[in-house]
Chains A and B, each alone.
Chain A
Amino acid sequence: MKILIIEDDPTIRTELSELLNRYGYETTAPEEFTDVVNFALKEQPHLILLDLGLPVQDGYHICREIRKQASIPIIVVTSRNTELDELMSMNLGADDFVTKPYHVQILLVRIENLLRRSYKNTEESVVELGGVSLNRSRSMVSKGDMSAELTKNEQGILYLLMQNEGRIISRDRIMEELWESDEFVDDNTLTVNINRLRKKLEQIGAEDFITTKRGQGYACIVSSAATK
């Protein structure tokens, strides 16, 4: 999936690209703002992140112009955070509105939701790691012929760990991820969720897929032999 970042601050532009790349998105961003509309139309991205405060042309204008000619989903990202700005963006055809300084996790969720809504049938979101694959559209985890159904929380945990392969993810960080989908779980619930997830992984023959690092958190560590 290709995301077009229209943002005049160079630091935000590069860091945002890096972040989105890390989450598996392809990114492109104009560095000149004289003809953003045509740049966007030429690049044909799957989604546009549009900052409102741009040099040369106003973000509202760009939003309207792009909307006139294409139905690319647009998320307006702005530091102007009044209801009026939000209403105005929506009226001009933006699909979502995120205020700066945005919470990265929230931004990622919004991007993902919008992409899912806009390109429902084009592809199923499947992540694969060390022979274990997670199908997020069907909430299923499978290895070989075996598969198991996951709950929303279990899937969230597994996805986060697989996405950050080899990195230790703290319990707090996992909880943060679950809180993103309005599951305000506490410590005990998390333990229960992790244990259930482990059991399910065991059932499909992927025991030890999740490693516990005492006092630090959890990680998916796949030995290079298994990946090849």
Chain B
Amino acid sequence: MIILLLKDKRPFFLVSLITAVACATVLYVLACPIQLVFLISFLYLAGTLFAITAECLKKTIYYTTFSKTLEQLESKQLICEVMEEPDFYEGEIWVQALRAASKSMNDTLAKNIIEHEEYREYIELWVHEIKTPISATKLICENNEYDNAAFSDVLFELSNIEKQVERALFYARSSAVEKDYVIKEIHIKELIHSVIRKNAKFLIAGKIRIDSSDILSESMVYSDGKWMAFILQQLLDNSVKYGAKTVEYCFSDHTLEISDDGIGISEGDLSRVFERGFTGKNGRTDTAAATGMGLYLVKKLCDKMGLGIELVSNQGAEQGTTVRIVFPKNSFLSFT
């Protein structure tokens, strides 16, 4: 760095050189002894060079520490808070400018965070509000279902509304700054069954076979029950959407495996299914109308809870899709 700084001082040095040569010429004309002329010129130039070098050295030291601090800092906008005060005027100007810039940025950032958080809170509130009329409509339908078949259709549509509402809720939750889930030991079989029970109408109507007989009822996992139920719901919806007639649940060694016999996912799409808004080849057909949000949310929630998730599929061999969810071996995450 010092070389670069010195190079910056080239004009200054050049001017000094010219001044020295001019002085020397004047002294020579005034008949000073030639040795004296050389000595004065030399002293003058040496002094100048020393002064320049000393200044550059000081700045080099300062800027090197500054760069290092900046590099180590994770949130770069906080540099003003941790940097050393410069003891030269140029530096002060820069620091002032930097302070003003980062303050303005931090303010905007804070405003956005607050706005985002408020928006998220509103979505959560709204979801809870909307559940009351949905519940009321559901009850009206249930009470009249036997007398008029149209109510059954309304009930079916209501369950679709409910699913979408639930998605919005979890989308809002997945981006929460603070942790709003509770990891504890839960019975995985009971949880799976509760999701299946909730979907009974739609699974029976679609003549879909469910098999969870391999799972022991005492099998436990560490997870948040509500979040896990949402994840299982998304995966079940996907299986059915993409033509599954059988959905099988297996659990061993902290791993839940959900296999279906649907159309599967092509190899090219497989690596991208967790991307936000990715619909893939299957999703773009008229029947599926995928939004690309389901699996994105699943992955996000899994990441937050510290669960591993992977998808295996072989579209060519028509083997359907298998989803593996790996649970943590202990509740360690709940203490972080």
Contacts and interface: CB of A to CB of B under 8 A. Distances in A.
A84 B162 contact: no
A180 B182 CA distance: 27
Nearest to A168: B146
A186 B181 CA distance: 36
Contacts of B241: none
Contacts of A53: 128
Chain B, interface residues (CB within 8 Å), range: 35 or more
Contact of A83 (B132, B146, B182): B182
A152 interface: no
B196 interface: yes
B86 interface: no
Contact of A15 (B139, B207, B209): B139
Interface string B102-127: 00000000000000000000000001
B197 interface: yes
Given A12-B135, A79-B128, A79-B131, A106 B198 contact: yes
A213 to B, nearest CB: 13
B193 interface: yes
A182 B205 contact: no
Nearest to B182: A83
Interface string A11-27: 11001101100100000
Nearest to B190: A182
A104 interface: yes
B20 to A, nearest CB: 80
A101 B197 contact: no
A9 B226 CA distance: 25
B204 interface: yes
Nearest to B189: A182
Given A79-B128, A82-B226, A12 B196 contact: no
Interface of B: 127-129, 131-136, 138-140, 142-143, 146, 158, 162, 180-182, 184, 193, 196-198, 200-201, 203-205, 207, 209-212, 224-227
